Amino acid sequence: MANQKKGKQSFLLGNSPVISAWASVAGKKEAEGPLKDFFDVTETDSYFGQKTWEQAEKHMQQIALTTLLKKAGMQHKDLGLVFSGDLLNQCIGSSFTLRNTGIPHIGLYGACSTMAESLLMASMAVGGGFFDNVVALTSSHFAGSERQYRFPLGYGGQRTPTSQWTITGSGAALVCSSGKGPKITACTIGTVTDLGITDANNMGAAMAPAALSTIKAHFDDLKTSVEDYDLIITGDLGQLGKEALLTLAQKEGVPLGGKLTDCGTMVFDLQNQDVHSGGSGCGCSAITLCGFFLDHLNTGKLKRILFCGTGALLSPISTQQGLPIPGICHAVSIVGG
Amino acid sequence: MANQKKGKQSFLLGNSPVISAWASVAGKKEAEGPLKDFFDVTETDSYFGQKTWEQAEKHMQQIALTTLLKKAGMQHKDLGLVFSGDLLNQCIGSSFTLRNTGIPHIGLYGACSTMAESLLMASMAVGGGFFDNVVALTSSHFAGSERQYRFPLGYGGQRTPTSQWTITGSGAALVCSSGKGPKITACTIGTVTDLGITDANNMGAAMAPAALSTIKAHFDDLKTSVEDYDLIITGDLGQLGKEALLTLAQKEGVPLGGKLTDCGTMVFDLQNQDVHSGGSGCGCSAITLCGFFLDHLNTGKLKRILFCGTGALLSPISTQQGLPIPGICHAVSIVGG
C-alpha cells in the first residue's frame, strides 16, 4: 500500500514503520514519581557529572542514545538519521549530543511537542523509503529551563499554582522499516493555534486548544474516533490543561470517552511532589512514552494509542513583548507490536 | 522509480519533486547589493511597519509566504505543510507567522542551514507521497540577531574583520508533486562536525569543515562529482569561510573545480558595503536561492546546482561556557526546469 495524505492534516503510512527499541533517562525527582520502575537509567545528580546544566542535558541525550543502541544491538554507523530537538536556545542539547558522531541529523523545534514531532518525521523518513533506521530523540532539564525561561533558581522565585515542573529527562525511539515492536500507522500534523492566552505560567491552558484541534483533525481526517483507541495521550498539559481540554472538547462536541490521559499528570505524584499542575518540557512526553507506554504496547497491555505531543511556542521575548502563546500539537497513532 | 537511500547520508528521489514557485523579501542593505534586481519585495524600514524587530521578522515571513502563494496562484488551504525555522530563540519568527493560518507546520532548527534543511524535508514529504504542496520557509533579521547573539545595536560594539552581517530577509519555496520548475533530484543530510573553532565572530571557519564533509559525502554517496554541477553553492561561509573551505578541500583532495560560490559573498558588495566577511543568517542562502538561483535554473542559465546550506550550531550560552562551535551542512541537488 502506498502512503496517503488523508484529509487536511493527516497521512496514512503504507508500510507501518516499527518502533523496534526505546530508551528513557530520568532525573532524581522523576525517579521518585509514579513511573520510577519504568525508566532505563536514573540519576540523582542534577548535573549528570557535567559542569553545567546545559551539558547535563546533552549528556542525558547521549545516555538515551547509547542505551537505545545497546537495546537495539546497533552502533552509530547503523543509524540513517536522527531527528532531535530540545528547549535550550538554538537546541544546543541536541546538536552537541550528535557532534562528531557521524550520524546524519535533522534539527527540529517543536517545544514540548518534540517527541511526537520527531517520531512523526521519523515515520515519514522510514515510510517514504528514504532511510531504514531512524531515531527520534529529545530532552529537557528543569534547572536549565528555569533559568532560560523564568528566573535563576538561586533567586528563589515563588511558583504560581498554574505552573508546571519541567522534566529532567530524555527519551529516544528507534523507528525501523522492519522488525518487531509497536507500529506507527498514521500521523496528524498540527497547526499553530492561538486563542490569546498570555500567561506564561499557564502553558497547559495555552496548549489545550491546539491539542483539541489536532485530535479533532485526526478523527475527521482518518474517519476514526475515540472508540478506536485505548488511550488518547497528551504531552504535557498538566492537570489544569487537561481539565481545560476536557471542557473545550465537551463544548465542541468531541467525545473523548474518559480515555484522555496526560503525561504531565502521570510522571509526578501531583498530591505529594509539589509540582503544582504537573510535569512539562520535551522530556515529559518523551520519558512517559519511551519509559511507560511503548512497554505497555509491546506487552499487549495497550493495543492502540494516540500520542499527542503538545508544545507552547512562546519565547521569553515574545512574552515580554506582550504577545500571546501559540500552541501546537502533533499526533501519532501507534498500535501494539 | 522508488526513493532510495544512497551511501551513508544521501537519498535519491524516485519522482523528483518540483519547485514550482519561489519568493524573496529583502531589507534595505540587501536591496542595495548586487542582487537588488532579483528580489520580489524590498523594504527600507527595518521594522517592516511593526513595533519590534522580532515582529518585523515574522512580518517578512508572512510577506514571503503571501508572495509565494500569489505567484503560485494558491491559497493557505492548498498547502499541505510548511517546514520553517529561524534564528530567533524558540523560532518565534516561524511559529508566529503560521499561527491561526490553519496550515500544518513542522518547526525546524538548523541555524543558517535552514533553507536547505527545509527544502530537503519538503522533498521528503512530497517525494514520499505524504503531501502534494509543501513550503520551505525561513528568515533572519540583522537587528534581532545582533541583540540576541552579540550586543544591542545601541552599544555600538566594534565588529571584528572576520565577522559577517546577518541578512534581513526571508525566502520561501513551494515544493510540489507535479508541475513546472526546477526539480530536486537528490539530497545529502549533514552530520554535526566540530573541529574545535571557538571564535563566535568567525562562523565561516566553524562551518567550512561541515560544508566539506557534506559535499564529499554527496559525491561519494551518489557517485557524482563537481563535473556534474554548474555550481556548488554554500550557504553563508563568507569570504574567509569560503577560502577556508577551498584550503580544506585541496588538502583532502576534493576537487571543486573553480565552481564554488557562496551566498554570503554574493548578496553584498564586499568592497563597498562594509560587511566584512559577507552575509550570514538563515535569510542569506534563502534570498539568494529564492531570489537569484531558482530564476537562473528556471530560465536555463544554470542546469544543475548543489545547494549546500551551512549552519553554525552554537548558542550564546555554549560560547560563554567555552565550548567550540559545531557546524552542519545539508545539500540539495537541483536541476533546471
Q: Is A2 among the domain residues?
A: no
Residues B188 and B322 in one domain: yes
Residue pair B328/B208 in contact by the 8 Å Cβ criterion: no
Residues B108 and B230 in one domain: no
Over its length of 337 residues, how does chain B's per-residue pLDDT go in tens digits? Answer: 799 999 999 999 999 999 999 999 999 999 999 999 999 999 999 999 999 999 999 999 999 999 999 999 999 999 999 999 999 999 999 999 999 999 999 999 999 999 999 999 999 999 999 999 999 999 999 999 999 998 888 888 888 888 999 999 999 999 999 999 999 999 999 999 999 988 888 888 899 999 999 999 999 999 999 999 999 999 999 999 999 999 999 999 999 989 999 999 999 999 999 999 999 999 999 999 999 999 999 999 999 999 999 999 999 999 999 999 999 999 999 999 7
Residue pair A19/A181 in contact by the 8 Å Cβ criterion: yes
In this complex, is the C-beta atom of B100 within 8 Å of any C-beta atom belonging to chain A?
A: yes
Residues A135 and A160 in one domain: yes
Return the CA Rg of chain A.
18
Residues A107 and A161 in one domain: yes
| Sign of the C-alpha dihedral computed for residues B139, A8, B3 and B9 taken in this order | positive
* Cα B311 to Cα B206: distance, rounded to the nearest angstrom: 9
Q: Which grid coordinates belong to B133?
A: 504542496
- Which helix (H) or strand (E) is B145 found in, with range? helix B142-149
* Cα A74 to Cα B129: distance, rounded to the nearest angstrom: 29
pLDDT at B154: 85
pLDDT at B285: 98
Residues A191 and A50 in one domain: no
Distance between first and last Cα of chain B: 19
Q: What is the mean pLDDT of residues A296-320?
A: 97
Of A3, A91, A117, the CB nearest to B130: A3
Q: Which of B116, B148, B176 is the last residue of a domain?
A: B176
Residues A214-269 have pLDDT tens digits of 999 999 999 999 999 999 999 999 999 999 999 999 999 999 989 999 999 999 99
Of A96, A111, A128, the CB nearest to B124: A128
Q: Is B7 among the domain residues?
A: no
B85 interaction partners in chain A (CB closer than 8 Å): 109
Q: Is A33 among the domain residues?
A: yes
Q: Is B11 among the domain residues?
A: no
Return the CA Rg of chain B.
18
Q: Is residue A337 pLDDT above 80, yes or no?
A: no
Question: Is B106 within 8 Å of A108 when comparing Cβ atoms?
Answer: yes
Kindly give, in sequence order, each residue whose CB lies less than 8 Å from that of residue B253, ignoring residues fewer than 6 positions away.
none
Q: Is residue A92 pLDDT above 90, yes or no?
A: yes
Question: Is A95 within 8 Å of B313 when comparing Cβ atoms?
Answer: yes
Residue pair A301/A230 in contact by the 8 Å Cβ criterion: no
B316 interaction partners in chain A (CB closer than 8 Å): 89
Residues B207 and B226 in one domain: yes
Q: Is A7 among the domain residues?
A: no
Residues A130 and A209 in one domain: no
Question: Is A318 within 8 Å of B54 when comparing Cβ atoms?
Answer: yes
Residues A205 and A122 in one domain: no
Q: Is A164 among the domain residues?
A: yes
In this complex, is the C-beta atom of B320 within 8 Å of any C-beta atom belonging to chain A?
A: no
Residues A135 and A198 in one domain: no
Residues B30-65 have pLDDT tens digits of 999 999 999 999 999 999 999 999 999 999 999 999
A117 interaction partners in chain B (CB closer than 8 Å): 106-107
Q: Is A190 among the domain residues?
A: yes
Instruction: Look at chain B and report how many structural domains it folds into.
Output: 2
The whole domain housing A205 covers 183-335
In this complex, is the C-beta atom of A95 within 8 Å of any C-beta atom belonging to chain B?
A: yes
The residue to which cell 534570498 is assigned: B287
Question: Is B189 within 8 Å of A108 when comparing Cβ atoms?
Answer: no
Residues A149 and A219 in one domain: no
Nearest C-alpha of chain B: how many angstroms from A238? 21
Q: Which of B128, B146, B176 is the last residue of a domain?
A: B176
Residue A2's closest chain B neighbor by CA? B129
Q: Is B6 among the domain residues?
A: no
Residues B134-150 have pLDDT tens digits of 999 999 999 999 999 98
Q: Report the phi/psi class of residue B89: left, alpha or beta, with left for phi > 0 and alpha for psi in -120 to 50.
A: beta
Kindly give, in sequence order, each residue whose CB lies less than 8 Å from that of residue A63, ignoring residues fewer than 6 positions away.
A25, A41, A48, A170
- Which helix (H) or strand (E) is B186 found in, with range? strand B183-188
In this complex, is the C-beta atom of A7 within 8 Å of any C-beta atom belonging to chain B?
A: no
ipTM computed for the complex: 0.97
* Cα B20 to Cα B184: distance, rounded to the nearest angstrom: 11
Q: What is the CATH number of the domain that holds A271?
A: 3.40.47.40
Residues B143 and B200 in one domain: no
Kindly give, in sequence order, each residue whose CB lies less than 8 Å from that of residue B37, ignoring residues fewer than 6 positions away.
none
Of A89, A128, A193, the CB nearest to B128: A128
Helices of type H across B18-91: 28-31, 53-72
Which of B75, B106, B133 has the most A C-beta neighbours within 10 Å, making it the best mutation to test the interface with A?
Answer: B106
Question: Is A129 within 8 Å of B3 when comparing Cβ atoms?
Answer: yes
Q: Which of B146, B176, B206 is the last residue of a domain?
A: B176
In this complex, is the C-beta atom of A88 within 8 Å of any C-beta atom belonging to chain B?
A: yes
Residue pair B329/B213 in contact by the 8 Å Cβ criterion: yes
- Within B87-153, strands assigned E span 105-107, 133-140
In this complex, is the C-beta atom of B220 within 8 Å of any C-beta atom belonging to chain A?
A: no
Residues A196 and A328 in one domain: yes
Interface of A with B in 50-79 (CB under 8 A): 51-52, 54-55
SS (H, E, C) B268-311: CCCCCCCCCCCEECHHHHHHHHHHHHHHHHHCCCCCEEEEEEEE
